[in-house]
Amino acid sequence: MKYYILNLWSVIMLLFVFQNLKAQILPSDTVIHNKRLYAVAGIEGGLWAASVVGLNYAWYSNYPKSPWHTFNDNKEWLQMDKVGHATTSYFIGKVGYDMLRWSGVSHKKSIWLGGSLGFMYLTTIEMLDAYSSNWGFSWGDMTANAMGAGLYMSQAALWQEQRISMRFSFHLTSYAQYRPNVLGSNYAERILKDYNGQTYWLSANIYSFLNKQSRFPKWLNVAVGYGVDGMIGGFSNDYTGAKPIPQFTRRRQYYLALDVDWNRIPTHSKFLKSLFNIISFLKFPTPALEFGSKGLIVHPIYY
């Protein structure tokens, strides 16, 4: 597990905040706002370069280099890291598209140039892995990155909206105490590093698939989620630490729950519209059904 996850989420949040500081109706396809476009290009390029250089200095420079090579990590963390890659690629693509449209770039060009931003950015991170002897270029990561970008771009092209969105939620678990260096030693680290507490969702907006005369609530979604439990190591739990470690069972968990589409909540407030857009990657806490090796579990409220 690598610290660049923190940088990816930081990029997402910074771009969201910048976009929403001047939230307005998207301009016409035929009018390019050069000042906005230059600002977008400068901020995106600056964050891109700074994060890559910073990661190389703060993280990868501590490990020996090697010639370009691949690394098969497809069985690591029960694929939770792959779902995280897809989600990150999806949301950076969303930000990239929205910022180009805000600058006056056409819908089609924004899909290709902005929607693929996450995939392109994560590819540069993958290249750092490729030259590190401790890791390597992961085709599994690249596939996940492509799937996240593809989910956003295909919907933008087909429907000109996101009917199925990716979401994230988190709850604290007891596993981090056994390997705090891997699963996190404080709350912020545990959100980013403890896969046991993370859940990734595909949230579908029902109204968008119905007749537009339908009275079904526009903001109500149905979501399916994926999570894991019992993991203190990437490939296995074979680890001996200072504290005795129980024999945890590594297992997958699947969820079904209602959700809220933040961007479809009716409001005339520009502040609320901006706020809803910023937090649109978060799954709204609701009751949930869990399916897995322990059978059916009902959660009154699930985070």
Alpha carbons 259 and 202: distance in angstroms, whole number: 10
pLDDT tier, 13 (very low <50, low <70, confident <90, very high otherwise): low
156 pLDDT more than 50 = yes
pLDDT class of 26 with cuts at 50, 70, 90: low
- Residue 6, pLDDT above cutoff 80: no
Measure the CA–CA gap between 177 and 245, rounded to whole angstroms: 10
Q: What is the pTM of this model?
A: 0.89
Is the model's pLDDT at 302 over the cut of 90? yes
Side chain identity at residue 256, one-letter code: L
Output DSSP code: residue 232: S
Q: Determine the Cα–Cα distance for residues 253 and 78; give it in Å rounded to an integer.
A: 11
| pLDDT at residue number 63 | 84
Residues 87-113 as b/e (b if ≥16 CB within 10 A, e otherwise) read: bbbbbbbbbbbbbbbbbbbeeeebbee
Q: Name the residue type at position 64.
A: P
pLDDT at 257: 98
237: left (phi over 0), alpha (psi -120 to 50) or beta: alpha
Which range has highest mean pLDDT (50-54, 110-114, 241-245)? 110-114
Tokens standing for residue 163: 């009917």
**CA 32 to CA 104: how far, in whole Å?**
4
pLDDT tens digits for 171-229? 999 999 999 988 988 998 899 889 999 999 999 999 999 998 999 999 999 999 999 99
Examine the pLDDT at 59 and tell me if it is beyond 60: yes
Cα 88 to Cα 54: distance, rounded to the nearest angstrom: 19
pLDDT higher than threshold 60 for residue 278 = yes
pLDDT bracket for residue 261 (50, 70, 90) = very high
For range 143-147, the mean pLDDT: 96
Q: Looking at residue 25, what is its pLDDT? A: 45
Which three-class secondary structure state does DSSP give residue 228?
A: strand
Lowest mean pLDDT among 12-16, 74-78, 110-114, 252-256: 12-16
Amino acid at the residue 239 = Y
Identify which of 193, 172, 43, 58 has the alpha carbon closest to the alpha carbon of residue 103.
Answer: 43
Residue-averaged pLDDT of the chain:
87
Predicted confidence at residue 4, as pLDDT, reads 46
Largest CA distance in the chain: 65
From 152, 148, 287, 293, select the one nearest 227 (Cα to Cα).
293
Tell me: the pLDDT tens digits for 224-247? 999 999 999 999 998 776 677 888
pLDDT confidence of residue 14: 54
Percent of the chain at pLDDT above 70?
89
Region 277-295: what's the mean pLDDT?
A: 92
Name 26's Cβ contacts closer than 8 Å, sequence gap at least 6: 101, 102
